[in-house]
Structure formats: structure tokens, C-alpha cells
Amino acid sequence: MFRLALIFSCVFIWGGSSAFAKTYKPINLIEVFTSQGCSSCPPAEDWNYQLKAHPSKFETFVTVEFHVDYWDYLGWKDRFSQSIFSKRQREYARQGYVNVVATPTVLLNGSPYRDWRRSKHPPKDKQRFPGLEISREGDILKVSWQGNATGSRSFDLWGSLLSGSNKDRISKGENAGRTLHHHHAALGLDKSKLVYNKKSQRYEGKIKLVRSEASVPAEAFALWVSPKDKNGPIVAAGGPW
């Protein structure tokens, strides 16, 4: 069902092929690192799942459920798991954002967020930077950003296509016999760059979002900007696909 997102400066139809640019409000990026093979993970997945109907979804936050593959050897192959998601989590540790690589891990704009166990509401965090101007042409998103005052000539641009809501019955491994609930499971992880354009005085770039898990339809997308060669996002956007 098509959902109208109230995050644009005016209402328009986001078609499957093209759309003119609109500015998205800067929102919080919530990353949930999890695995269907991890017996400790269902509570974090359930917390993320219940946020699917929250009225401020895409207005103040977007969640991305990254399924790591390092627990797949325990007897159950997670259908959403990808090695690139495990690499992203390890990079967070290598860059000093987190101390350990473990599941479940919930990050708010790149920093550990532990209050998910005590609250059913999405976390709040003050946005310091302007939003992204995005237009779509097929699977390619063109992005323009006013940027910040750091003087950097380029930033990394990341994006993921996201699943809708899924319920998976697990027959083997640590969660054998359980039904797990997933929402906004990442179907891929893509990276590009935003480069400063002196003429427009904005950072500009484009990114192609690919479904590495092609059997699952994409319902939404998340897009975020981070400093060059760093994982932690400084501005994010999301909406229906």
C-alpha cells in the first residue's frame, strides 16, 4: 500500500522511474545488528518491529536491521545475513564507535543506544545539519546537500533498501521453534561519495541501491552521510520506496 510521507516540502508521487528533487528532513538513523541464529537477539528485533507503525517513522527516525553472518555456522542460515553487514559492525569497533562486536547491538547515529530495553519509543537526538535533497531515477538516487562548516571536500554517502515486515519460523539453531519478527531488514548496503561542487556550493553525488537479497521486495530506503572513511552518520533520510 502506498504511504504518503510527510517529510517533503510538498506532496508528490514517488514513482518507480523518476521524480523531481525534494528536501528530506534530517532524521535519526537507528541501526540494529542482529541475527536469526542469536538467541539473545529476538528482544531487539521485537523492539524494532513494534516501531513499524510509529507515527514519527521517516519524520524523526528510520531503522535499519543489519543481519550479520558470523552466527550462521550455529545451525541456521539467516536469509537476511550478509558479510558486508558484519564488516560494517566490525568497522564500527575498529574506528572506536563501539568496544565490542556482539549481537544484539543498537546504534543511534553511530553511538551505542541501550535504552531500547526500557522504552517502546524511538530515541531522540538533536539534528545539527541540514537535510538531504534527493531525486530518484529508477534505482539511482541523486543527492544534493548544503553540508556543514568542516571544510571537507567530500563525504561518504551510504544507502540501503529495506524490507517490509516479515515473520520467519526458525527450525534449527539457537532459536529453533521460535517465530522471529523483522522490519526494515537491510537488503543490501551501498556506498558512494558526495563531492563539493564550487558552482552550486553544495555537495553532490549519486548512489545506486541494489537488493542483494533479491527474493524480498523493498518497501523503504535509508540514506545517510558520514565523514570520509568513517561509519558514523551525521545526517540521514528515509522513506517509502
pLDDT tens by residue, 125-184 = 888 889 999 999 999 999 999 987 566 778 999 999 999 999 999 999 999 999 999 999
pLDDT band at 185 (very low <50, low <70, confident <90, very high): very high
Contact 131, 237 (CB under 8 A): yes
Residue partners of 146: CB distance under 8 A and separation at least 6: 130, 202, 203
Looking at the chain, the whole-number percentage of residues with pLDDT higher than 90 is 82
Whether 5 shows a pLDDT value over 90: the answer reads: no
Whether pTM exceeds 0.85: yes
Mean pLDDT of 84-102: 97
CA distances from 144 to 18, 163, 201 (A): 16, 25, 10
* 152 or 31, greater pLDDT: 31
Identify the architecture of domain 22-118+127-240 in CATH: Sandwich (2.60)
Residue 206: name the closest of 198, 214, 197 by CA.
197
